[in-house]
């Protein structure tokens, strides 16, 4: 089934995660990750290749940061927002949005769970 969570600031949606059949297009909000990250180089713009070090994953393995860029996310109302400082990590299995990065950038968010 399809579902969505929206993070909001001043009642304007700023981040949308959507569950679809294609998990590589899905962006998951994660309270445990330090950075927004993606294994998909094609979704990044203003991309800069970097040697960004390594990140310790939840399964005690390390993954390399190979670049950094921005992504556009489209909200249900058709508006677009940009997430900055998204790490390109080709070995991770999911696109992740970091709650911590949202908070540090001054965003407020609201999560609504619906079954």
Q: What is the pLDDT of residue 4?
A: 46
- State the chain's mean pLDDT as an integer: 80
The tokens for 55 are: 């990140």
pLDDT at 64: 95
Mark whether 30 is an active-site residue.
yes
**Cα gap 113→104, rounded to integer Å:** 23
Amino acid 24: pLDDT = 66
Q: What does CATH list as the number for 3-104?
A: 2.40.70
- Contact assessment for residue 13 and residue 112, using Cβ atoms and an 8 Å cutoff: no
Segment 4-52, tens digit of pLDDT: 444 444 455 544 544 545 566 778 888 888 899 999 999 999 999 999 9
User: Which of the residues 30, 46, 64, 77 is marked catalytic?
Assistant: 30
41: which 2 tokens? 């180089």
- Domain coordinates in residue numbering, the chain: 3-104
């Amino acid at each position: 089934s399809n579902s969505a969570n929206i993070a909001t600031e001043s009642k304007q949606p700023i981040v949308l995660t959507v569950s679809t059949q294609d998990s590589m297009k899905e962006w998951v909000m994660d309270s445990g990750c330090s950075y927004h990250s993606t294994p998909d180089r094609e979704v990044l713009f203003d991309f800069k290749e970097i040697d960004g070090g390594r990140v310790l994953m939840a399964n005690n393995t390390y993954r390399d940061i190979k670049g950094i860029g921005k992504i556009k996310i489209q909200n249900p109302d058709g508006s677009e927002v940009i997430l900055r400082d998204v790490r390109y990590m080709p070995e991770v299995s999911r696109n992740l949005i970091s709650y911590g990065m949202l908070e540090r950038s001054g965003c407020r968010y609201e999560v609504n769970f619906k079954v």
